[in-house]
A and B are shown apart, each in its own frame.
Chain A
Amino acid sequence: MAGITIVGSGDCGTRAAFSLRENDYKGIINLINNENGLPYERPPLSKQNGDVVKINSIMSPEEYEKHSINLISNTRVLKINRESKFVSLSNGIDLYYDKLLISTGAYARPLQQDKFNHCLYLRSKNDAELIFAKLPLTKKAVIIGAGLIGLEMAALLRNKNIEVSVLQDSDRILERAVPEKLAEIIAEKHKSEGVKFFYNAQIENIEKNCITLATKEKIQADLIISAIGAVAKTDLAIEANLPCANGIIVNGQLRTDDPYIYAAGDCAICKHPRYGSIRFETWRNAVDQGEFVAKSILGSNEEFNKLPWFWSDQYELSLQVVGVPSLAETTVKRSIKKNARVLFHLSSKGQLVAASGLGPGNSVAKTIRLAELLIEKNKQPLIEELEDENFNLKKLL
């Protein structure tokens, strides 16, 4: 038997490999890593304060051997041959598979206006190392994009006393997944820490040390970071004629049209019972889908239905969001202690569909976790129960 080959050893692919063993799979597991070194966690790359980048390995090196997972590093998959069921590797080897998992993730969206590659991006550990290497000589930085990564980097740079300007092409930060009320608090926090925001910014030109806006205003910078989103890596799938949109299309079992090929994590558009066709870009989804797809590969017919959840750390604040707040009709606020708050997002029928929280340290984590359990059970809590800090939501489970 040729075994299972996993293309991409990020948080998703690596979790899938170990999950296969946890589910008693005894065959060959090939985990293909296009970088050097061990598979590592991606979220810490934008959330640390040291002088050098700290890389968190997902598993220690012994674990791969202990579980007979063939970690093939420094190697890319060049092509998938669906007919004969093998992948062609950059080292010249054709690796056969019984089943294939594509967990190639995403790449940082390139900035069109950056014609001469003056911008740095943040996706991989190499990217992080390049950025960190420049920081000691950086006095002024510009970050293009006020999404989670851009803002985490803004906080990181401010903690090192680097001047930061953030350019956003709309009139507010964190447009996609964060409720406006919380985004406002976060923006105020950044401003109080000295971050300068340029809203509705249109970039006309990017030079090595200067960005020119459409308004002709020039912003000097020793370092320019572009953080304008991620694009699913679908090249291999497209070339292999697997249906793709802004990701590789898979069904409820995370399987593509090809019965032997699965896709999961940042690169996959799954069919979700709550949200329809949706591609998640979170660490939690990567590990959830990694765990789930292993079971599917081994024959489970369960449907993937986990709720999306993410967190972000900026300064001493932590943001956590579960579910999709933008799909809700009404919002109920619960204040937590002195300076934290959780918003509960309800459907028109009063069902809890999402929750978002912001506060120092991990002050909102427990409440968000309880909200997640309530959402999973389709509960319809009373508004008074949600608003009252002293009401124990656990009672509703």
Chain B
Amino acid sequence: MGNWVSACHANEIDEEDVIRFDHEQKTYAIYRNLDDQFFCTDGLCTHENVHLADGLVMDDIIECPKHNGQLNYVTGEAKRIPICKNIKTYLTKIENNQVFIQID
């Protein structure tokens, strides 16, 4: 059972974009898609621990800025090498335009 942590204001993230969120020694990436839905994954790429918040978001894919590997940020699935390990995802909810993520 995880707790909901307040991460950011919805407007802090552009459409089809991603920002970094740090909380208690861990780092996350929070995404906003074109339909104004919000998603969250671990912040570091599973290939070489590069922060995904510097990467390009296209539809439901986040590209790692270092080697252009791809992950689906909705499902956490590794989609293109050199990323071959899936990434952890976290539930999100919006309350009063504030984005919350559920952390274990």
A-to-B contact residues, CB < 8 Å: 15, 41, 44, 56, 58-59, 283-284, 287, 309, 311, 361-363, 365-366, 369-370, 392, 394
Contact = CB atoms under 8 A, between A and B. Distances in A.
Interface in B36-60: 48, 50-51, 54-56
Q: Determine chain B's interface SS by DSSP, over half rule.
A: loop
**Interface residue range, chain B:** 10 to 19
Contacts, number: 40
Given A311-B66, A369-B63, A362 B54 contact: yes
Contacts of A287: 81-82
Contact of B65 (A41, A56, A362): A362
B68 interface: yes
A39 B81 CA distance: 15
A15 B54 contact: no
Given A365-B54, A370-B56, A394 B16 contact: yes
B103 interface: no
Given A15-B81, A56-B48, A59-B84, A366 B55 contact: yes
A365 B57 CA distance: 12
Nearest to A372: B68
14 contacts: A41-B82, A44-B48, A56-B48, A284-B67, A287-B82, A362-B55, A362-B66, A365-B54, A365-B55, A365-B65, A366-B54, A369-B56, A370-B56, A392-B14
Contacts of A361: 51, 54
Given A15-B81, A361-B51, 17 more contacts: A41-B82, A56-B48, A59-B84, A284-B68, A287-B82, A311-B67, A362-B51, A362-B65, A362-B66, A365-B54, A366-B54, A366-B56, A366-B65, A369-B56, A369-B63, A369-B68, A392-B14
B63 A362 contact: no
Interface string B56-93: 10000001011110000000000001101000000000
Interface in B16-31: 16
A15 B54 CA distance: 26
A174 B8 CA distance: 42
Contacts of A365: 54-56, 65-66
Contacts of A15: 81
Residue in A283, A287, A361, A365 with the greatest tally of chain B CB atoms within 10 Å: A365
Nearest to A397: B58
A361 B56 CA distance: 15
Nearest to B84: A59
Nearest to B85: A60
Given A15-B81, A41-B82, A362 B50 contact: yes
Nearest to B50: A362
Nearest to B68: A369
Contacts of A309: 68
The residue in A56, A284, A366, A392 that gathers the most chain B C-beta atoms within 10 A of its C-beta is A366
A366 B54 CA distance: 7
A58 B77 CA distance: 18
A366 B63 CA distance: 9
A392 B50 CA distance: 23
Contacts of B81: 15, 287
Contacts of B55: 362, 365-366, 369
Contacts of A41: 82
Nearest to A320: B65
Interface centre among B16, B54, B55 (most CB of A within 10 A): B54
Contacts of B14: 392
A365 B53 CA distance: 11
Contacts of B67: 283-284, 311
Contacts of B66: 311, 362, 365
Contacts of A59: 84
Residue in A361, A363, A370 whose Cβ sees the most chain B Cβ within 10 Å: A361
B67 to A, nearest CB: 8
Nearest to A22: B81
A126 B104 CA distance: 42
Nearest to A369: B56
